[in-house]
Amino acid sequence: MSGLSKGELLAVKTDGEGDVTDTHVLWRLKTHVGKYASPILVDGLIYTAAAESFLTCLDAMTGEVIWTERVGGKHAASPVYADGRLYFFSQEGKTTVLRPGRAYEVLATNQLDDGFMASPAVSGKAFFLRTKTHLYRIESAAAAGD
């Protein structure tokens, strides 16, 4: 990820010395790239959450965009992969839960007041979510008793 200024995601070969910019870039993505949220790699696919309401899935080896979907909201918090699901958290407080894979499949959406800026923390089967005004621990009752 190039960060705030340019907004690109690049795959770069790690061998070589000196300036390898022109010879070692395998692919680059310039659209719908997250400026704040880190990308996440699951089973050979990279998922990004853009500040401009888009989620994108691409093939890590080729850079081919598999899908891009507008989910609404801005994303600054980094996504999380837990228990076979991907979780994306918007600044408006919406959590979008996806099944990882080449098909875009929303499993659930949830809403908390005051929005997410911080990336969530995970401990065991619990999420710790910090909004602008509260700290939440989210865990199923069954998981809490384990």
pLDDT digits (tens, 9 = 90+) for 38-85: 899 999 999 999 878 899 999 999 999 999 999 988 888 899 999 899
How far is the C-alpha of 132 from the C-alpha of 25, rounded, in Å?
A: 38
Q: What is the pTM of this model?
A: 0.87
Structure-token pair, residue 66: 């598999």
Total number of residues shown for the chain? 146
**Please, are residues 61 and 41 in contact by the beta-carbon 8 Å criterion?**
no
Structure-token pair, residue 142: 């069954």
How far is the C-alpha of 96 from the C-alpha of 108, rounded, in Å?
A: 6
Q: Label residue 84 exposed, middle or buried (CB < 10 Å: 0-12, 13-18, 19+).
A: exposed
- Is 141 in a helix, a strand, or coil? helix
Domains of the chain: 9-112 (2.40.128.630)
pLDDT digits (tens, 9 = 90+) for 3-40: 666 778 878 888 878 887 778 888 888 887 877 888 99
DSSP state for residue 79 in the 8-state scheme? P
Pick 80 or 132 by higher pLDDT.
80
